[in-house]
Amino acid sequence: MLSAQNLALERGGTRVVDSLSATLVPGQITAIVGPNGAGKSSLLLGLAGLLAPAQGRVTLEDAALASLHPRTRAQAIGYLPQTPDIAWDVAVESLVALGRLPWRDRGTAAVEAALAALALEPLRRRPVSQLSGGERARVLLARVLAGQPRWILADEPLAALDLAHQLSLIAHLRACARLGQGVVVVVHDLGIAMNHADRVLALKGGQLIADGPPQTALAPEVIAQGWGVSARWLGQPGAQALVAGQS
Amino acid sequence: MNRASIVFASLLALILPLSLLAGRVWIVPDVTANGWLILAELRLPRAVLAIIIGAGLGAAGAAMQGYLRNPLADPGLFGIAPMAALGAVASFWLGAFIPPAFAAWSLPLLALAGAGLGMALLALIAGRTTSDAAAGAGGGIALFTLAGLMLASLAGALTALAITLAPNPFALSEIVLWLNGALTDRSWREVWLAGPLVAAGIAVLMLTARSLDALTLGEDAARSMGLNPARLLLLLVVGIGLTVGAGVAVAGIIGFVGLVVPHLVRPLTDRLPSSLIGPSALAGACLVLAADSIVRILPLVTELRLGIALSLIGAPFFLWLLLRMRKGLL
């Protein structure tokens, strides 16, 4: 279990997340949503142990993240930053193999499994500069999977993708959750959160304004409070679409 | 050993004998008068020194580019070389106060002291910037690099000041000549001074390999994979300080090797920083040894300074590199 207790985070002296408590369970997809500047990415950094709490703490199976050795933490929590730029034009398989750095082994089996899970075997020798946006996103996720973390924390992994690639990446994340990994994603698209998440944390101004299954945590009242938009959901559960207009 | 190591090690094995035999006088051992003596006491130490210095600069350049995630980075960005040069220039000033017994050692030792001072200052700054970054202030690497640049320009200004206030015209020309690095008339003494320091520096830089690989995906991703930014920065400061500082101490400032060499190596590797450090050391050794052999055989009245020669090659290469990057070919 990955748990934030009365967590406050600061960046450059500004408080970006305040008195937030939530306990995340593995085997689920948890979506973090909120308007711009709500503190979603900071919360994800805090949960990944990459931003030290200004107050409160983050625990992994009852051990404070801050007290863990960075390598122990890295073996347990994989973090996928928002659209990371790749400094060197390496081949796909070299990039995916970087995911083994926390283990300091070659982990060939894990790297092969990650390549296979994301259908990257045909691209293994291709330089990353020659990948499309969708392929790139899969490669970056495969890097995280190669580390076989118990938790996958991804910051807007779907942002640059078209519809088909979004759905295929979500399917991969769902497969991870089914295998018992905890999946936490920051998403902008509330429809994706509604239809694909098991649990939604809605943030506004660094505070948690809703936490629960998407049907309740993304209810029209919450959207009105968080985004200042009057909206309603259309369609059947699992295939819902948001219709919104200025209130 | 990867492909790039084999290529550059073979190249080095090819250049070394040629470099030993080539010069103002083409030596044929056993035939040339004093041939073996010239080889053992003049050309061999000079060649070994070229290999040591080139290896240090090449490895430092590879590590620096990996750290800054930028193929245009140069070990000079840390300001170690200008600090070492400042120490060396100080020795021209302090000449009168140094006991004669140490006179021969004063320049390299003061240059090393300058490099050491630079390393200490950088380590202090590093402690500040990495702790700020962990607290979410951001900009760790960029901030540190700017600090290094400030150190470089401060040392450069102080060196210029020392030159303009030179005690006498002889000292002035000595300083200026020395600053444009060269390997002329070096002996085993310099080899014994620089060799161990550069070797230790390269060994320290090797320790950064995994961390530099992690930085391929940016600082946050690297930290999520267990990177310890403070440890990495400290290793880099020590490694680059030793390789560059020791090089300047015995040969003056030799530019562009650290910038250019990783580019020669990168296409032969998987392009990850860890695959570059060792081969870049070998390639740097090749480049400096070859350049030093060429300046030695050029039919000029006074030998072209090695530092100048390398910059003459390096500057156009840098320009070409920039143009290629604009076209997105790198």
Rounded to an integer, what distance in angstroms lies between the CA atom of residue B153 and that of residue B275? Answer: 32
Between CA B248 and CA B115 the distance in angstroms is: 9
Using CB atoms, pick whichever of A12, A49, A90 lies closest to residue B271: A90
Cβ A47 vs Cβ A2: under 8 Å: yes
Q: Answer positive or negative: Cα dihedral of B53, B59, B62, B64.
A: negative
Q: Which of A51, A85, A102 sits opposite B225 (nearest CB)?
A: A102
Confidence band, pLDDT 50/70/90 cuts, at residue B133: low
CB contact under 8 A, A85 and B218: yes
- List, in order of start, the domains of chain A with CATH numbers: 2-246 (3.40.50.300)
ipTM of the complex: 0.92
Give the C-alpha separation, A22 to A41, whole Å.
Answer: 16
Tens digits of per-residue pLDDT, B44-78?
999 999 999 999 999 999 999 999 898 888 888 88
| Residues of chain A found within 8 Å of residue B272, distances taken between Cβ atoms | 88, 90, 94, 98
Q: Which amino acid is at B109?
A: L
CA neighbor of B140 nearest in space, from B69, B206, B233, B204: B233
Is the CB of A99 less than 8 angstroms away from the CB of B215?
Answer: no
**Looking at beta carbons, which residues of chain B come within 8 Å of A102?**
225-226
Taking an 8 Å cut-off on Cβ atoms, the answer to whether A80 and B221 are in contact is yes
CA distances from A151 to A30, A74, A173, B124, B218 (A): 11, 10, 11, 36, 20
- A112, HSE (Cβ side, Cα atoms, 13 Å): 4
Identify whether the C-beta of residue B276 lies closer than 8 Å to the C-beta of residue B269.
yes
The range of the structural domain enclosing residue B81 comes to 3-326
pLDDT digits (tens, 9 = 90+) for B231-282: 898 899 999 999 999 999 999 988 889 988 998 899 889 999 999 999 999 9
pLDDT computed for residue B143 by the predictor: 78
Residue range B290-304: mean pLDDT, rounded? 84
Question: Any idea which of A143-152, B23-32, B69-78 has the lowest mean pLDDT?
Answer: B23-32
The DSSP letter of residue B304 is: P
A69-87 pLDDT, tens digit per residue, is 999 999 999 999 987 789 9
Instruction: Report the number of distinct structural domains present in chain B.
Output: 1
Q: Tell me: pLDDT of B92 over 50.
A: yes
| Predicted local confidence at residue B176, as pLDDT | 82
Q: Coil, strand or helix: which one is B272?
A: coil
8 Å CB contact of B216 and A87: yes
Q: Which of A55, A71, A88, A141 to mutate to test the interface with B (most CBs of B within 10 A)?
A: A88
Give the residue from B213, B224, B266, B324 with the most A CB atoms within 10 Å of its CB, the best one to mutate.
B224
Alpha carbons B267 and A72: distance in angstroms, whole number: 34
Compute the nearest-CA separation of A176 from chain B (Å): 19
B231/B102 Cα distance (integer angstroms):
36
Q: B328 to chain A: nearest residue by CA?
A: A129
DSSP letter string, A159-180: TT--HHHHHHHHHHHHHHHHTT
Which CATH number belongs to the domain containing residue B258 in this structure?
1.10.3470.10
CB atoms within 10 A of CB A213: 12
CA distances from A200 to A158, A210, A230, B72 (A): 16, 8, 19, 44
Q: Which of B65, B70, B220, B277 to mutate to test the interface with A (most CBs of A within 10 A)?
A: B220
Q: A138: part of which helix (H) or strand (E)?
A: helix A133-146
Cross-chain Cβ contact B220/A91 below 8 Å: no
Q: What is the pLDDT of residues B142-196, one digit of tens each?
A: 778 888 889 999 999 998 898 888 777 877 887 888 888 888 888 899 999 999 9
pLDDT (0 to 100) of residue B137 = 47
Q: Which of A45, A71, A81 sits opposite B226 (nearest CB)?
A: A71
Neighbour-count burial for A144-177, b at 16+ CB within 10 Å, e otherwise? bbbbbbbbbbbbbbbeebeeebbeebbebbeebb
- The answer, for B220 touching chain A at a CB cutoff of 8 Å, is yes
Q: Which two tokens stand for residue B243?
A: 């390789």
Distance CA A47, CA A182 (A): 12
Counting every residue written for chain A, the total comes to: 247
In chain B, what residues touch A42 (CB-CB under 8 Å)?
Answer: 136
For B3-24, the pLDDT digits (tens) are: 899 999 999 999 999 999 888 7
| A99: chain B residues, CB-CB within 8 Å | 225
Euclidean distance between CA atoms A54 and A15, whole angstroms: 9
pLDDT (0 to 100) of residue B75: 85
> How does residue A201 score in pLDDT terms, banded at 50, 70 and 90?
very high
Which residues does chain B have within 8 Å of residue A45's beta carbon, measured at their own beta carbons?
220
Q: Contacts of residue B273 in chain A, CB cutoff 8 Å?
A: 88
Which chain B positions have a beta carbon within 8 Å of A13's beta carbon? 137
Burial degree of B108 (CB within 10 A; 0-12, 13-18, 19+): buried
Check residue A127 and report its DSSP letter.
B
pLDDT at A159: 84
Q: Is the pLDDT confidence value at B229 over 90?
A: no
Spatial distance between the Cα atoms of A207 and B254, rounded to a whole number of angstroms: 56
Q: Do B135 and A10 touch (CB under 8 A)?
A: yes
Q: Cβ separation of A11 and B69 shorter than 8 Å?
A: no
| Gyration radius from chain B CA atoms | 20
Task: Tell me which chain B residues have a C-beta less than 8 angstroms from the C-beta of A124.
Answer: none
**Number of H helices and number of E strands within chain A?**
9, 12
